Amino acid sequence: MITITDITKDYGGKTAVHNLNLHVPDGKIFGFLGPNGAGKSTTIKMMTGVLPMDTGHIVINGADITEEPLKAKRQFGYVPDKSDSFLRLKGREYLNFIADLYGVTEEKRKERIAYYTEELEIHDALEDQIHTYSHGMRQKAVLCGVLLHQPDVWILDEPLTGLDPKSAHTLKKLMREQADAGKTVFFSSHVLEVVEQLCDEVAIIDKGTLRFQGDMHELKEEFREGRNLESLFLELTGDA
């Protein structure tokens, strides 16, 4: 579970996120939706402790990201929208490093690395350095790192962008399994079809301000005759 209370972030006088409140429950796939520049990545960076917030609190599974950063960070796995870290490591070295960080046993890491890298089709690239990987392959390597230590909370920034159809299908299946196991799945997107197909609950943000939060059923109730998610999104984000 993630609770965000009254968070605000200014970048040199420009407000990127303004008094945002969100409750991300367990057992559901939660989509965080908004146009380019809406404040999604800024919010995710504050959730994961990458950026300090100016005001407010974020609590992840009972741990405050500012007051108990290590405890909070142990609760989640994070896949950023761009991954340019550990480029000199080979894929297998990176995954072993993650397994060491999170204390995954030899037996479990062997089994999980084999399973998830096969599922996401990067097994054949494990002996190559990450700088030779494509954007999608890097994302899959980071995703395997998250799957390897099986955190309760997943925080994924645009996770399906750049994935081929088969890998996107596999990731959607894994997200559903995680939610069905009563865990937390939070992801950002501006692809409406993905959100419509996958989410149980959504929040829509625009210009740093929350425009809607509710389940897909409530969102669909907002649809009037002849309107779809796209027209509703455009109306909520002020572009209709």
Among 6, 23, 37, 223, binds ligand ATP (CB under 6 A): 37
User: Phi, psi (5° rounding) for residue 81?
Assistant: -70, -30
Under the binding rule (CB under 6 A), the answer on residue 48 touching ligand ATP is no
Task: Give helix 106-119 / helix 135-149 axis angle, nearest 10°.
Answer: 140
165-204 residues in contact with ligand ATP (CB under 6 A) are: 190
Please check whether residue 4 is in contact with residue 161, taking contact to mean a CB–CB distance below 8 angstroms: no
- Shortest distance (Å) from residue 239 CB to ligand ATP: 14
User: Of 38 and 174, which has the nearer Cβ to ligand ATP?
Assistant: 38
Under the binding rule (CB under 6 A), the answer on residue 41 touching ligand ATP is yes
Under the binding rule (CB under 6 A), the answer on residue 39 touching ligand ATP is yes
User: Of 144 and 194, which has the nearer Cβ to ligand ATP?
Assistant: 194
- CA 227 to chain centroid: 28
CA distances from 59 to 3, 30, 51, 196 (A): 5, 16, 15, 27
Under the binding rule (CB under 6 A), the answer on residue 69 touching ligand ATP is no
- Shortest distance (Å) from residue 159 CB to ligand ATP: 13
Nearest to 90 by CA among 121, 128, 116: 128
Nearest to 73 by CA among 89, 49, 57: 49
Under the binding rule (CB under 6 A), the answer on residue 139 touching ligand ATP is no
Please check whether residue 141 is in contact with residue 95, taking contact to mean a CB–CB distance below 8 angstroms: yes
User: Of 39 and 151, which has the nearer Cβ to ligand ATP?
Assistant: 39
Under the binding rule (CB under 6 A), the answer on residue 36 touching ligand ATP is yes
x-or-dash pattern for ligand ATP, window 12-31, by CB under 6 A?
--x-x---------------
Which token pair is 150? 């099986």
Which of the ranges 32-40, 57-65, 195-203, 217-225 carries the binding residues for ligand ATP, by CB under 6 A? 32-40
| Dihedral-angle region of residue 121 (phi above 0 means left; psi in -120 to 50 means alpha; beta otherwise) | left
Q: What is the dihedral of CA 72, 73, 76, 81, to 10 degrees?
A: 130
Under the binding rule (CB under 6 A), the answer on residue 236 touching ligand ATP is no
Under the binding rule (CB under 6 A), the answer on residue 135 touching ligand ATP is no
* Total Cβ atoms within 10 A of residue 215: 15
User: Of 14 and 224, which has the nearer Cβ to ligand ATP?
Assistant: 14
Under the binding rule (CB under 6 A), the answer on residue 34 touching ligand ATP is yes
By the criterion CB under 6 A, which residues form the site for ligand ATP?
11, 14, 16, 34, 36-42, 190
